Structure 1
Amino acid sequence: LKIADVPVVLDVKDIEGSIKVAKENNIDGVLTIASDIAIPTVAAVATELGLPGISPEVAKIATNKALMREKFVEHGVPSPRFRKVRTLDEAKEAAKEIGFPVVIKPVDNAGSRGVSKIDNMSGLADAFNYAQKNSRIGDVIIEDFVEGIECTIEGMTYNNKTEILAISEKKKPGGHYRVATDLTYPPSFPEEMIENIKGVVRLAIEAIGIDIGPTHSEVIVTPQWKTVLIEVAARGGGFGVFSDVIPLVSGVDAVLENIKMCIGQKPDIKPKYERGVVLRFFAPHEGILKEIIGFDEAKLIKNTEIGLFKKVGDTIPPLATDGDRTGYILAWGETREEAIKRANMVEEKVKFIVKDEHQK
């Protein structure tokens, strides 16, 4: 609020209030950088004031995974089998029909909140309740678990043309929860596979109806080298992906170009180059954080940035959502291999001393 010309405290879900503030101040553009929950409000304000942006109908599809999947099926986008459910009995029926393992998630949340992988019926009730608790409308989807390598794809669309700015190869620890601990750009795939990923993502963006603005997509590359689209968000990637990673990978200032689009100016979204970047997250075992060793020394490593989300004395929770991570490493270089080497150097320096909460 310190840098705002007109500071306003307002719930981002308050569409009518946001429209009122926008009209009172005669705004020139409206956007959200990386927040799913603000997408319907942004679309409503843009439509009401005649500003560039996606429509409220497209925003509704882009923030509801069930509606999104229906569009994927309609347009032939390869995606997992799924069913939308509202009761535990419906969830059991869907899981039996699809077959284990399955992924259970709320239709209308992000950041891995409410998402679980379940291998058998014994874990279904807890996973269903966890997903439904994290859904604002109470709807949950049960989907086929697709084995393979998960990737995130950062795109920007202008005049119905999408430029792909960055593709990551993700790593996730085992277990029920689906939280990534490492994103490496670019992926270690053959060029033909990368072009296939880009084609599937563009088809998905078109299926949803996104004709302008940033997108953050997730796909699985199967062991058979097939691309399966998981979901698309009509926003930039969080945790600095949109603001920091995209410029490092592609040379495109995503925030600036997004602002240009939102105020009716032509953006420059064509990638200038492709460089290596690693975004890695610290995720020590759960307990009480007692000491952090080597942090200041690690900060001196060239072409890296590190930060913490927790401090000494905080509780390290189970890694259930993106917000449960302890800190991050951002490393970059001319190549993927150089970025990985620098991230490894940082990780070797930084150690977390965590005490079990039950230890005396």
Structure 2
Amino acid sequence: MIRPSVVIVEPSSSGLDLIAAVTRAGYQALVFSHNAADRIVPAEVLARWGAELVVLDTNDPAAVLQGARDLPAQWQVLGILPGFEFYVPAAAQLAAHLGLPGLDPAVCQRVRDKALMRQALAGAGITGPKFRLVSTAAELDEAAAEVGYPLVIKPTRSAGSVHVSLASCLSELRSAYSAIAFDPTLDLGIRLGADVLVEEFIPGPEFSVEGFVQDGRVVVVSITEKLVSEPPHFVELGHTVPAAIEPACERLIAGWTADVARALGIDDTVFHLELRLRNGVPHVIELGARLPGDSIGSLIEMSKGVNLSDIFVQLATGQRVDDPAVGATGSASCVAAIRFFYEPGLDVVTSAPADSDLHTLPNVVNGAVTVSPGDRPNCRADFRSRLGWVLMTGADRRSVDRSWKAVKETARFT
């Protein structure tokens, strides 16, 4: 019997939600995963949704393509989805090979490589920071002179704000570059490499825009307000839907977002666009042609009733997606927020609250502690330094803020 199926390439983080979305849509989820080291899909997730696991090296495009060729004849593949940002190119290449909807493989390089993204946006006249691509330590001095201090240095092909930092002088810049170029850590089997962006620091409030593009039609579903730690690092500490901005600002960001999406040439995909407002003018931080992380998708669904994972499945299988009946910030039934525990001065964890301590607090929908006694969370100045999280809803922003204050007073880390 022929079974309509959708392939998900290495689902991780929010990409795990795609397994459920594919199943809800009536398709068989075929999960391509290396199934080793830090590329393992939890067995309980596969079992819950009846997903089929196909083990292959997802960092090898040829292996991904061969995996699709080797699928049994009963699997009728109708769509391809990237399960994480690193696998946007592999999914795009496979979709193009099979003649299925998806990003143009040439376009997807612009949304994976931050230097190519900056170049494409600058060429289209989209506002963004001054920047310079650097591949060796010898280029740092000249790049800094061109961009000016303070500046931001970041890897060109990473995620999760890993090694993104502010430098105020050449010694700080050189130290940050060395930390990137010589970091032996593999993230999903991939090294950072020595290519970095040195770019102008943009002060101002930070937001993200979530939406989708189909047949050139750019639809903004939501604008998320972001909470980020103080420099020199940029650890994401929280997200709130909807963002507390004026309607005129909402319209400005929505129209500008469409310009960004068209400048990059993305189509048949959801997107997550990060920006900062400097003097009321939006500046691109980066755009990902994939689901947002940090449970932003859950916040949007709770606040606005729109499931981005379901939309992504529709796009991948060539179904027409109707415009959700929500505005970017309006039409919310509640305010939904996630906040992360963060103690930058904590060297070693000696005690931490239990998950159950979080669940009984007012307006808390869910929460978890992600460290244990003996952990040294601040060895990494990125998302890995967070100690846990709580997801909350409330009638308005003030009630959510009160809930978070109560959580912090109750949940103590030492």
* Same fold, judged at TM 0.5 (above): yes
Query: Which of 57, 60, 67 is the equivalent residue of 2:116?
Result: 67
Q: Distance in 2 between matches of 1:334 and 1:50?
A: 46
Please say if 1:286 is aligned against 2:339. no
Relative to 1, partners in 2 of residues 1:271 and 1:334: Cα closer, same or farther, differing over 3 Å? farther
2:409 and 2:310 map into 1 onto residues whose CA distance is 35
Q: Distance in 1 between matches of 2:150 and 2:325?
A: 38
Q: Residue 31 of structure 1 aligns to a residue in which SS?
A: strand
Superposed counterparts of 1:28-177, under 5 Å: 28-33=78-83, 35-133=84-182, 136-177=192-233
Bigger Cα displacement from structure 2, 44-53 vs 10-19: 10-19
SS in 2 for 1:247: helix
Q: Contact 1:257–1:269 at 8 Å: present in 2 too?
A: no
Q: 2:294 aligns with which of 233, 239, 245?
A: 239
Give how far 1:205 is off.
1.1
Q: After the TM superposition, which of the residue ranges 89-98 and 165-174 deviates more from structure 2? A: 165-174
Secondary structure class of the residue paired with 1:264: coil
> Greater CA deviation, 314-323 or 233-242?
314-323
What letter is aligned with 2:386?
A: R
Find the partner of 2:61 among 2, 12, 15: 15
Residue type of the alignment partner of 1:279: I
Cα distance, 1:131 vs structure 2: 3.1
Give the C-alpha shift of residue 144 in structure 1: 0.4
Shift of 1:203: 1.0
Aligned CA RMSD, in angstroms, stands at 1.9
Task: Tell me the CA shift for residue 149 of structure 1.
Answer: 0.8
Helix, strand or coil: the match of 2:231? coil
How has the CA–CA distance of structure 1 residues 336 and 160 changed in structure 2, closer, same or farther, with 3 Å as cutoff?
Answer: farther
Q: How far apart, CA to CA, are the structure 2 residues paired with 1:9 and 1:113?
A: 27
Amino acid at match of 1:86: S
CA deviation after TM superposition for structure 1 residue 249, in Å: 2.7
Contact 1:252 1:269 in 2 (8 A): no
- Counterpart for residue 357 of structure 1: none
2:234 to 173, 178, 203: 178
Q: 1:270 to 1:14 in 2, by over 3 A?
A: same
* SS across alignment from 1:352: coil
Kept in 2, the 8 Å contact 1:105–1:140? The answer is: yes
State the Cα deviation string for residues 155-200 of structure 1 (Å, max 9, x = none). 1222222222222222222232111112222222221112111222
Q: Displacement of 1:264 after TM fit? A: 1.9
Question: Is 1:276–1:332's contact at 8 Å kept on the other side of the alignment?
Answer: yes
Measure how far apart 1:99 and its partner are: 0.9
Residue 263 (str. 1) matches residue 313 (str. 2): no
What is the count of residue pairs matched by the alignment?
350
The Cα shift of 1:28 comes to: 1.8
* 1:236-285 alpha-carbon deviations (Å, 9 max, x no partner): 1112223x122123211111121122122223451443231211100123
Identical aligned residues as a percent: 27
CA deviations 1:12-33 (Å, max 9, x no partner) are 2221111222233342211124
CA distance in 2: counterparts of 1:221 and 1:169, whole angstroms: 11
Give a deviation string over 1:29-78, Cα, whole Å, max 9, x none. 11124x21111101011000111110111111110111111111111110
Q: Structure 1 unaligned segments of length 5 or more: list them.
A: 354-360
Alpha-carbon distance in structure 1 between the residues aligned to 2:397 and 2:62: 46
Greater CA drift, 1-10 or 70-79 = 1-10
The superposition leaves residues 74-123 of structure 1 with CA deviations (integer Å, 9 ceiling, x where unpaired) of: 11110000011111221111101211000001111111112110011221
Map 1:290-309; keep pairs closer than 5 Å.
290-293=350-353, 295-304=355-364, 305-309=366-370
* More displaced stretch, 127-136 vs 302-311: 127-136
**Cα deviation digits, residues 199-224 of structure 1 (max 9, x gap):** 222211111111111111111111x2
Q: Give, in whole Å, the separation in 2 of the partners of 1:306 and 1:259.
A: 27
- Supply the AA of the counterpart residue of 1:186: P
- How far residue 294 of structure 1 moved from its aligned partner, in angstroms, is 6.8
Work out whether residues 306 and 324 of structure 2, in 8 Å CA contact, stay in contact via their aligned partners in 1: yes
Larger displacement relative to structure 2 (9-18 or 207-216): 9-18
CA distance in 1 between counterparts of 2:195 and 2:354 reads: 45
Match of 2:399 in 1: 338
Length-normalised TM-score, structure 1: 0.91
CA distance, structure 2, for counterparts of residue 138 and residue 276 of structure 1: 41
How big is the shift at 1:136? 4.0
